[in-house]
Structure 1
Amino acid sequence: MLKEHAKLMGAFAACGEVIGRKKLQKMIYIAKKISFPFQEKFEFHFYGPYSEELTLRVEELCDMGFIDEVREKKGGYYQYRYTMTGEGETFLQHAEVNMPHLKETVTEMNNQSARFLELVSTVLYFDTLTREEVAEKIFTLKSKQRYTEEEINEAYAYIEKLKKLH
């Protein structure tokens, strides 16, 4: 019944803590794109790929007491910090989640900035386009982020690194 929730719990368990809703969205999207079996549907949004389904699942996990969400004021905005609870650990022990290499992959992503993961997820979102077309999309859609050619190359290299972990 809660199979998709359990998969998300596997990601939280692997990371220990995720800081930021945007980072969480990008981590799950990237994991899905490199073939982890996450089922959430994503659309392109202000900060790159975004899933309303993922937002709702995380809210449900918080409501069930499996994930703890702490809202912290950071300057002019709020940041959300997610950790798994004891009830979440118990739930996960009884759920059958079999995603080899998830821990290494999400732990690696969790060490990156949300800004970089936004770039990586945007590159993956437009993966049917040529590299030049992807760069053009990024310079147009993400002009406020001021990504450079070098950062785009780093994003492509990072995607290959993650695929090797998987």
Structure 2
Amino acid sequence: MLVEKIPDRGWIPLYTLFKVGKISAATKLQKLIFLIQTEGKIDGYKFFKHHYGPYSEELVVDVQAFCKSLDLIDVQVIEGTKYPYYEYSPTAKGIETIQEIAAKLSLEDLKRADKIINKYKNKNYKELTEYIYKQYVIPEQTFETLYSSLSADLVSLDNIWEKYYKDDCPASLLILAVVEYSSKALEKLKTTKDPVVRGVCVSSISELTAKIVDLTSSLQTSKDCPFSFKTLLTEISDHINFLDNYCGKNNILPDILDIDFSDFMSEEELQRLEKTLAETQPSELMY
């Protein structure tokens, strides 16, 4: 079957073209997929720093296969005012294939992809490149400022959850582990040379920290169990899963399940955390 020849990540460019119709310039396709994954918290292609920002060799390989071997994408060379460029569109076979694949995908992933596609589909590659550089390629001075601020926030969160919630709630141990994981990732980023990887991670840690701050504030106000804040916990779960996956894929940190937390947890707490993680995935615990 044709679907079996498509890698799991391959649905992202196919679905994007299905929704947009035509995408002018290979650079725009690269940037749009990067934003769908990064802002939509969707796992897929690995990106690294290139001449025009984030770039994925994996995406290039897949698109070439979809164009040449599988006849899922049609590509035309268009003569621009100064330079020629590629224009991509789905073939009839491509539309049929992505509809078959999409029927098996989670509605949540499709909703996230739709949101990002609709947000950026009308921007050209220059506008997308400029936006990405401003948003995700963080200058050294800006990184140092963000690093100091986030480090302080994470220390405060660690102190609060250590003092008030750890003994009463199984989710609190996971929050503590996530705070520690974020701190370790932030420290590793100081020696990460790729500005795209560093920028995406800092943005992700910043969003995750903000969500945990929101949850912490809500708990301090109401004193309810964390499980009563389902919306916040769901959002936190999304950010945890994205950060964990991204850090692992880019060799920043191993999977959160493989991190040694003995530096800040007692033996009893470690056993409780290991039991929780062994029995329940983080996303399941949050939901």
- Superposition TM-score, scaled by structure 1 size: 0.71
How far residue 16 of structure 1 moved from its aligned partner, in angstroms, is 0.9
Q: Is the 8 A contact 1:71 1:80 kept in 2?
A: yes
Q: Return the structure number with greater relative CO, CA threshold 8 A, min gap 6.
A: 1
Which residue does the alignment assign to 1:4? Answer: 9
Which residue does the alignment assign to 1:13? Answer: 18
How far residue 128 of structure 1 moved from its aligned partner, in angstroms, is 9.4
How far residue 106 of structure 1 moved from its aligned partner, in angstroms, is 1.2
Which residue does the alignment assign to 2:64? Answer: 59
1:72 maps to a residue whose letter is I
**Runs of 4+ residues over 4 Å off in structure 1:** 131-134
Q: Is the 8 A contact 2:12 2:33 kept in 1?
A: no
| Larger helix proportion of the pair | 2
1:1-166 equivalent positions in 2, closer than 5 A: 1=4, 2=6, 3-63=8-68, 64-95=70-101, 96-98=104-106, 99-126=110-137, 130=142
How far residue 125 of structure 1 moved from its aligned partner, in angstroms, is 3.0
Aligned-residue CA RMSD (Å): 2.7
Question: Which whole-Å CA distance do the structure 1 matches of 2:144 and 2:88 have between them?
Answer: 36
How far residue 22 of structure 1 moved from its aligned partner, in angstroms, is 0.6
How far residue 74 of structure 1 moved from its aligned partner, in angstroms, is 1.6
Larger radius of gyration: 2
Count of matched residue positions in the alignment of Structure 1 and Structure 2: 136
Return closer, same or farther for 1:122/1:92 CA change in 2, 3 Å cut-off.
same
Instruction: Show structure 1 runs of 5+ residues with no match.
Output: 135-166
Question: Which whole-Å CA distance do the structure 2 matches of 1:133 and 1:41 have between them?
Answer: 27
- Superposition TM-score, scaled by structure 2 size: 0.43
Deviations 1:62-90 (A, max 9, x none): 12111100011224422111111110111
Percent identity between matched residues is 24
Deviations 1:123-151 (A, max 9, x none): 343369738989xxxxxxxxxxxxxxxxx
